[in-house]
Structure 1
Amino acid sequence: MSELRALLRRLEVFTGELPEFDAAAAPAGPAALFTAWLLEAVEAKVPEPHAMSLATAGRDGNPAARVLIVKDVLPDPDAGWRFAAERTSPKGAALAERPYAAATFYWPDLGRQVRLRGPVAAESAEAGAADFLDRGPGARAEALLGRQSRPLHDPAERAAALAGARERVAREPDLVAPGWTLYTLRAEEAEFFQGAPDRDHIRLRYRRAQDGSWSKERLWP
């Protein structure tokens, strides 16, 4: 056994006091339960509780995942999770080719995980502009560069471009990156996982019906 494998096998999971979860008392829709869990993660001071892993697939069907920030959650029955991206970025291009995604939230201090799957739609240009202008000046300057994921041959070139973008943001505070887009993942399925030290984990899955209502069921852990 390699040293790394041995180390990984010694690492503990689901330690300490974890919250209880009464799946039978869960609300009728997933957005309400997600919001409650998110607020509990904030109260517990879980680092970056609004970070989510977003997985997409392009025309070739090969998946790609990255971590970004959820911007808003639409209440039930809509149950939509909003995030933003540059339209020409790899994730924006993948969503244009295949507008469907999966997202995961993980709050290790609470032993909790939320998994989502569903179609993704771009919101209006006005909604994207409003989201962009809600960002801090540094984040807006970064987004204005518009070169995400392209090869960087000279860090000095990026430093100069970023300095110019910061000056532009200061000079034009209402400037919006033309490709900035607000997206909504409208969940068709949402799963909530509550870990337990004794491995008696609880999994609750919501599924959206054709009429927009939600069903829920327990799953084997």
Structure 2
Amino acid sequence: MTGLRTMLRELDVFAGELPDFDPAAAPDDPAELFTRWLLGAVEAGVPEPHAMTVSTADAAGRPSARVLILKNVEPGPDGGWQFAAHGASGKGHDLAERPYAALTFYWQPLARQIRVRGPVEPAGAAHSAADFLARGEGARAEALLGRQSTPLSDLATRDAALAGARARLAREPDLVPPEWTLYTVRAREAEFWQGDRDRNHTRLRYRRAVDGGWARELLWP
């Protein structure tokens, strides 16, 4: 364990060319700044820049986190950050009990991190169905099972169930499980973090104001 502790301390961080971030030039809406940073991550070749950690809590307040894919983000008071999940999954149960979530993006090559928190609203059946039908065949087959996070006896059982789900989708290509839900995080806070080798990190936080706009403030590293 001592060797592991030493090795972890010696690992390099914030290597390579890092981008600049001028908070004074940031737009009024955090969704606009997020989009700029996301497109910059895509241009820089960051792997899977649309992957994010989604954190929820159950009725007892016990947290849970997993990595999901961002489906869309829109500015304005009616916009937000979107992801999808099966309503019978662990995250689906969490959101039914506590409709609030935190999103975390980390783009390591750029030393950039974004944190978003806010209440979560489920979309209507039509929008949720459109999201499901836009998924790949394998993703739709897995979601159709509705067994995520439940105990599995062996991998052969999994493979047989997935084969059956694929066959069913081939017969019913427009099939959508009613539990499939597109969720929108209506941000109340959004923080943009730009790392620095000398630990002069730059942090800008947006907070939703009473009038529906956004208040901005710098944070200590």
Give TM-score, length-normalised by structure 2: 0.98
Q: Which amino acid aligns with 1:127?
A: H
For residues 48-59 of structure 1, what are the structure 2 equivalents within 5 Å?
Answer: 48-59=48-59
Query: 1 CA distance for matches of 2:42 and 2:177?
Result: 30
Q: Which amino acid aligns with 1:21?
A: F
Equivalenced residues, count? 221
For residues 81-100 of structure 1, what are the structure 2 equivalents within 5 Å?
Answer: 81-100=81-100
Q: Deviations over 1:37-73 (max 9, x none)?
A: 0000011110110001011011100100000001000
In the alignment, structure 1 residue 60 sits paired with structure 2 residue 66: no
Return 5+ residue gaps in structure 2 as ranges: none
State the Cα distance separating 1:79 from its structure 2 match. Answer: 4.3
Q: Which amino acid aligns with 2:113?
A: Q
For residues 69-218 of structure 1, what are the structure 2 equivalents within 5 Å?
Answer: 69-218=69-218
Q: Which amino acid aligns with 2:16?
A: G
Q: Which runs of 4+ in 1 moved over 4 A?
A: none
Return 5+ residue gaps in structure 1 as ranges: none
Query: 2 CA distance for matches of 1:76 and 1:203?
Result: 22
Q: Contact 1:83–1:182 (CA<8 Å) still a contact in 2?
A: yes
Q: Percent identity?
A: 68
RMSD across aligned positions (CA):
0.9
What residue is the counterpart of 1:11 in the other structure? 11
State the Cα distance separating 1:136 from its structure 2 match. Answer: 0.8
Query: 2 CA distance for matches of 1:202 and 1:158?
Result: 46
Q: Secondary structure at the match of 1:35?
A: helix
Q: Deviations over 1:81-120 (max 9, x none)?
A: 0000000100000000000111100000000000011000
Query: 2 CA distance for matches of 1:216 and 1:18?
Result: 23
Q: Secondary structure at the match of 1:67?
A: strand
Query: 1 CA distance for matches of 2:128 and 2:14?
Result: 39
Give TM-score, length-normalised by structure 1: 0.98
Q: Which amino acid aligns with 2:202?
A: I
What residue is the counterpart of 1:43 in the other structure? 43
Q: Which amino acid aligns with 2:190?
A: A
